[in-house]
Structure 1
Amino acid sequence: MKVLMFGWEFPPHISGGLGTACYGLVKGLAHHNQDMIFVVPKLWGDEDPLAEFVNASDVEIDYREKRFRSVWKNLTYLEVGSFLIPYLSPEQYASFTQGIKEGKENLEDSVFSTKFSFSGKYGKDLIQEVSRYALVAAQIAKDKHHDIIHAHDWLAFPAGIAAKSISGKPLVAHVHATEFDRSGQTVNQQVYEIERAGMEAADKIIAVSQLTKNTIVANYGIPEDKVVVVHNAVLDTSAIKSKEVKKVPEKIVTFLGRITFQKGPEYFVEAAAKVLRKDDNVRFVMAGSGDLLNRMIQRVAELRIGTKFHFTGFLRGKDVDHMFAISDVYVMPSVSEPFGISPLEAVRHNTPVIISKQSGVAEVLQNAVKVDFWDIDAMADAIFALLHYDGISRMFKELGREELKRLKWEHVALKVIKVYKETVNQ
């Protein structure tokens, strides 16, 4: 069986957990000799060769193909601010866009072929890139033999839909997060519509947690039996014995993630203030970047804890490992976390973790302190206990390491392969 997989990023060039999860899954599937074509908007040339990689920026599209007409019409629901094919001469652009407005454009009579250069990032033209990516996906689906299509999150859902419309092969939509996780109840309607279209078009949906499945069923109207839960894992379950040495005498408590509504950074700041009132021999670190960063800096100043609170900015690679290694406690106070791999990485570094009950990882990581994200008193008490009672801290470290051994991507990959087989056989 050959899988045509669409993602948006792949290590080492990533912006968050989506790329890491894609890498883990692809590596796990490769371990079981699964044949894969992995497509991303932009390749950098230093990706681990675990699959047949396709750089969408190198794919030339021939609009004379009749089948592209239906793909184009299906993409118009995205309602972007400008048209989806901007790389034309003024004459071609005027002619093409006028035809779309009138609904009479005949794509098979077009006389041009083209290809797009993708940034592969998350800028202001993201929706346009998502749309163009879908057009490229249609061409790839025409050119590359495959038995099933696998699309990761809303960024790749239109690509999955387009590929399915061309090849007729079944589509698996992999939901790592929903718009409700990212934005709460103030959802971006455009992104929500893309997500719902992808889920409705899919033959099967993989959710990274039961929490995510519940959101899909309740908020997107998807039948429960269409969604299967497959939890994430970690790339390496072995314990890391770091030689990093703390350069400060205080205990260190760390938040590491995007500083956005979804991750609950404000609750971490408020809990930090409560802990520091009891014990000022602690330093708190907020590692990451995001739209709430300035607000968190301002709140730290208002609470007068700036001398004990540090903002590192976005960390990657060895800097992340260093941060985990010198931390005495790791806290993930997410408001809504579909899964959350970072606590598993903290456990690998022998760091006890506190996680919100509103996270998917809480379903698989039993030996962690779990609190409601909004309960800053419970969060502060848990931090204080792990910092001051060695027996409790040691227990969570030891049990966490044992538990981690079960959470391998090779095991996850076997579950995904089972989904492939069942979907193809339906």
Structure 2
Amino acid sequence: MKVLMFGWEYPPHVFGGLATANFGITQGLHAQGDVDITLCLPHPFGDEDRSACKFVAMNSVPIAWREVNHDYVQQRVGNIMNPDDYFRYRDHIYADFNYMNVNDLGCMDFAGGYPSNLHDEINNYSIIAGVVARSEEFDIIHAHDWLTFPAGIHAKRVSGKPLCIHVHATDFDRSRGKVNPTVYAIEKDGMDNADCIMCVSELTRQTVINQYHQDPRKCFAMHNAVYPLKQEWQDIPRPDHKDKEKVVTFLGRLTMQKGPEYFVEAANMVLHRTRNVRFCMAGSGDMMDQMIYLAAERGIADRFHFPGFMRGKQVYECLKDSDVYVMPSVSEPFGISPLEAMQCGTPTIISKQSGCGEILTNCIKVDYWDIHALADAIYSICHNESLFDYLSEEGRKEVDLITWEKVGARIKDLYLKTLGWK
């Protein structure tokens, strides 16, 4: 089976949770043994793990004819894409795009990540998808999140092949209901044109059905997973905080979706009962300054740390150094970070409004707005060694069974049903 997949980011260049999920899904599908993936990315860097799929650098796909020799193309794009693919794609340019801002290879540049002209980049990406879809052989299309839905739709119209879309989040989750009409329109258009909709949780599936008016028969919950820790991260020691200061961590975007203010308010309540706890709020976002001011207003700034955005090994060092991990999200379609914390043996508290709670048992769940329950849970884990040990050990065991290979098998099964091969 051959899959044409449209993604937006991929490790080690992580701008959000989409990169981690995209990596896990491609690895899980590759593990099935008979799934060949061609993954399109707007701006790959050349240092990605390419063991699971063939990469297409969309910023190296020509949309305007240029007379260039092989050596020059090799010099320009050889680190991110096979130069032979450049010439193959050049033969499938389907319109005159010279009016667009193309470079000397006839290609469009992409910033990578989420720049201020994001909507322009989404449109450009979808135009290039037409060239790729005319050039590649594939059985089915898989598009990740609204950023790539227009590309998926274009590929479907060009090829006539079925389209699977993967909803990792909706604008209802990102905006607390204050939906951006442009984003909503892109999301709904993708869903309307999809033959199969994969949602990262039943919570998200219900949003897709009720808010985007989709047929429940084509909507499926497809929970995420977590990859085994790299050996270098397994070797990171867990400090012994017994009879010492405890560390409670929030790690994620500091945006209203993630509920950072509830973490600060719960921390304030805990610190009225004990001063033997430090709070770490790792991440960046538009609420960073607001959270710093809030901690100062509550008089707990001396117990709060804001280390900023973390990636890779830094994340696991932070998680292993923590006694409690908290994800108080207001609306979390899934949330992979609690699984990563539990992998590290860190007891975890999540909001009941989190999709990952549908598959997790050995963690504590509270309503995001119930700061009293959240403070009680934090205090209990920090001061009850038996509870800490139980959640640490059982949580690790539980998460070790939630693998991307199992997710890959379920996705392959959906592919087969969508294609009518099963």
Give 2:218's match in structure 1, choosing from 185, 203, 226.
226
Question: Is residue 237–residue 404 contact of structure 1 (8 Å, CA) maintained in 2?
Answer: no
Deviations 1:333-379 (A, max 9, x none): 00000000001110111100000000010001111100000000000
Q: Distance in 2 between matches of 1:268 and 1:361?
A: 19
Structure 2: which amino acid aligns with 1:169?
K
Q: Distance in 1 between matches of 2:105 and 2:212?
A: 37
Question: Is residue 18–residue 168 contact of structure 2 (8 Å, CA) maintained in 1?
Answer: yes
Give 2:236's match in structure 1, choosing from 226, 235, 242.
242
Q: Distance in 2 between matches of 1:66 and 1:339?
A: 39
**Cα RMSD (Å):** 2.4
Deviations 1:11-67 (A, max 9, x none): 001111100000001011111121110000011011111211000000012599999
Q: Distance in 1 between matches of 2:158 and 2:182?
A: 24
Distance 1:41 1:67, change over 3 A: closer
Deviations 1:237-258 (A, max 9, x none): 7994532547994100000000
Give 2:63's match in structure 1, choosing from 42, 61, 64.
61
Give 2:294's match in structure 1, choosing from 296, 299, 323.
299
Taking only the aligned residue pairs, the percentage that are identical comes to 49
Q: Distance in 1 between matches of 2:390 and 2:110?
A: 48
- Secondary structure in 1 matching 2:272: helix
Give 2:320's match in structure 1, choosing from 311, 321, 325.
325
Q: Distance in 1 between matches of 2:398 and 2:56?
A: 36
1:96 aligned partner: none
- Secondary structure in 2 matching 1:268: helix
- Secondary structure in 2 matching 1:283: strand
**Could you list the runs of 5+ residues in structure 2 that have no partner in the other structure?**
66-89
Which structure 2 residues correspond to residues 123-202 of structure 1 after superposition, within 5 A? 123-202=115-194
Question: Is residue 241–residue 349 contact of structure 1 (8 Å, CA) maintained in 2?
Answer: no
Deviations 1:246-286 (A, max 9, x none): 79941000000000011000000000000000001100000
Structure 2: which amino acid aligns with 1:28?
G
Q: CA deviation at 1:405?
A: 2.4
Distance 1:235 1:304, change over 3 A: same
2:36 aligned partner: 35
- Secondary structure in 2 matching 1:14: coil
Distance 1:68 1:184, change over 3 A: farther
Distance 1:56 1:361, change over 3 A: same
Question: Is residue 240–residue 350 contact of structure 1 (8 Å, CA) maintained in 2?
Answer: no
Q: Distance in 2 between matches of 1:212 and 1:341?
A: 15
Q: CA deviation at 1:400?
A: 1.0
Distance 1:392 1:88, change over 3 A: closer
Question: Is residue 287–residue 311 contact of structure 1 (8 Å, CA) maintained in 2?
Answer: yes
1:378 aligned partner: 373
Q: Distance in 2 between matches of 1:375 and 1:326?
A: 26
1:46 aligned partner: 47
Q: Distance in 2 between matches of 1:193 and 1:381?
A: 42
Question: Is residue 240–residue 348 contact of structure 1 (8 Å, CA) maintained in 2?
Answer: no
Structure 2: which amino acid aligns with 1:61?
I
Deviations 1:138-174 (A, max 9, x none): 1100001111000000011011011111111000000
1:26 aligned partner: 26
| Alignment partner of 1:393 is 2:388 | yes
Aligned residues: 392
Structure 1: which amino acid aligns with 2:369?
W
- Secondary structure in 2 matching 1:374: coil
Structure 2: which amino acid aligns with 1:199?
M
Q: Distance in 1 between matches of 2:340 and 2:43?
A: 27
Q: Distance in 2 between matches of 1:379 and 1:413?
A: 35
1:120 aligned partner: 112
Q: CA deviation at 1:393?
A: 1.3
Which structure 2 residues correspond to residues 66-81 of structure 1 after superposition, within 5 A? none
Deviations 1:188-240 (A, max 9, x none): 11111100000111100000000000110111011111101110000117994
TM-score (norm 1): 0.88
| Alignment partner of 1:87 is 2:101 | yes
**Could you list the runs of 5+ residues in structure 1 that have no partner in the other structure?**
73-83, 90-111
TM-score (norm 2): 0.89
- Secondary structure in 2 matching 1:114: coil
Give 2:349's match in structure 1, choosing from 354, 359, 363.
354
2:364 aligned partner: 369
Q: Distance in 2 between matches of 1:244 and 1:402?
A: 17
Question: Is residue 204–residue 226 contact of structure 1 (8 Å, CA) maintained in 2?
Answer: yes
Distance 1:131 1:362, change over 3 A: same
Tell which deviates more after alignment, 57-66 or 367-376.
57-66
Q: Distance in 1 between matches of 2:323 and 2:135?
A: 52
Question: Is residue 343–residue 400 contact of structure 2 (8 Å, CA) maintained in 1?
Answer: no
